[in-house]
Amino acid sequence: MRNAMRTMAAVASAALLVPASAPAATPDTRAAIEKAGADFAATFTKGDAAGVAAMYAADAQLFPPESDIVTGGAAIQKVWQGVIDSGVKGMKLTTLDVVESGDLAAESGKAELHGADGQVLEGGKYLVVWKRVDGRWKILRDIWNSNAPAPVAK
């Protein structure tokens, strides 16, 4: 039963998917966050882990699957460098929804990781909390998980 969290998969896959968006972000915030996501993916695809890490706030936390929480720019850069080194050569992020209040925003979206030939290695979804710092949106919290079922545990 150590895969209890994964058990949710079969149940959840049968459930409905309906758009939702309240309190919706302003068009300017939505556009800024979509742009930041596109920049993130482009920077990753260049193999620039330091550039990716620079998009996080100073007090950011990353929540990678099968890992403890990762805090701070140097540690976050190390995670992304490891992903790049593992053979992930590209990324596509698609914003689905943004909610906003003051200097906080929360974005949900879909992610694809691409291999050297552009093939999709894995698909997932993410939730990112953004913080506006000196007028720019920076990533404060970043968590994702896979859409695909895990290998069956014996």
Q: What tokens does 67 get?
A: 């890992």
**The pairing of beta strand 104-114 with beta strand 120-133:** antiparallel
List binders of a second copy among 102-131 (CB under 8 A): 102-104, 106, 108, 113, 115, 121-122, 124-127, 129, 131
Q: Is 8 in the site for a second copy (CB under 8 A)?
A: yes
Burial of 132 (0-12, 13-18, 19+ CB in 10 A): middle
State which residue, 31 or 115, has the beta carbon closest to a second copy: 115
List binders of a second copy among 26-65 (CB under 8 A): 59-65
CA dist., res. 19 & res. 142, Å (int): 21
31-39, 40-48, 99-107 -> range binding a second copy (CB under 8 A): 99-107
Site size toward a second copy (CB under 8 A) is 80
Helices 73-85 & 27-45, crossing angle to 10 degrees? 60
28-36, 37-45, 98-106 -> range binding a second copy (CB under 8 A): 98-106
State which residue, 38 or 75, has the beta carbon closest to a second copy: 75
Residue from 35, 46, 78, 136 that binds a second copy (CB under 8 A)? 78
9-17, 29-37, 38-46 -> range binding a second copy (CB under 8 A): 9-17
Say if CB 51 and CB 39 are below 8 A apart.
Answer: no
Q: Which of 89, 4, 99 is nearest to 42 (CA)?
A: 89
